[in-house]
Amino acid sequence: MNRQQIDVLIKQMNVDTATGEVNPRIQQIIVRLLGDLFQAIEDLDISQTELWKGLEYLTDAGQANELGLLAAGLGLEHYLDLRADEADMKAGIVGGTPRTIEGPLYVAGAPESIGFARMDDGSESTHVDTLIIEGVVKDTAGNLIPNAKVEIWHANSLGNYSFFDKSQSDFNLRRTIITDANGQYIAQTTMPVGYGCPPEGTTQAVLNLLGRHGNRPSHVHYFVSAPNYRKLTTQFNIEGDKYLWDDFAFATRDGLIATAIDVTDPVEMAKYNLDQPFKKITFNFELVKDTNQLPSTEVDRRRAEA
User: H/E element holding 295?
Assistant: none
Closest CA to 235 of 218, 248, 215, 214: 218
Least distance in angstroms from the C-beta of 197 to ligand MBD: 7
Question: Looking at beta carbons only, is 71 or 150 nearer to ligand MBD?
Answer: 71
User: H/E element holding 305?
Assistant: strand 304-305
**What residues make contact with ligand MBD under the rule CB under 6 A?**
69, 72, 101, 103-105, 195, 216, 249, 251
Of these partners, Fe ion, ligand MBD, none, which one is at the site of residue 104 (CB under 5 to 8 Å by kind)? ligand MBD
> Which residues, 59 to 118, sit near Fe ion by CB under 5 A?
103
Angle CA(68)–CA(233)–CA(177) in degrees, nearest 5? Answer: 115
Least distance in angstroms from the C-beta of 185 to Fe ion: 19
In 155-246, where do the E strands start and end? 174-178, 184-190, 219-225, 232-238
Least distance in angstroms from the C-beta of 72 to ligand MBD: 4
Least distance in angstroms from the C-beta of 219 to Fe ion: 6
Of these partners, Fe ion, ligand MBD, none, which one is at the site of residue 183 (CB under 5 to 8 Å by kind)? none
Tell me which residue has its CB nearest to Fe ion: 103
Tell me which residue has its CB nearest to ligand MBD: 103
Question: Looking at beta carbons only, is 68 or 103 nearer to Fe ion?
Answer: 103
DSSP letters for 19-72: -S---HHHHHHHHHHHHHHHHHHHHHT--HHHHHHHHHHHHHHHHTT-HHHHHH
Is residue 255 within 8 Å of residue 247, measured between CB atoms?
no
Count, residues near Fe ion per rule CB under 5 A: 1
Least distance in angstroms from the C-beta of 207 to ligand MBD: 12
Reduced DSSP (H G I as helix, E B as strand, rest coil) percent helix, strand, coil of the chain, to 5 = 30, 25, 50
Provide the binding-site residues for Fe ion, judged by CB under 5 A: 103
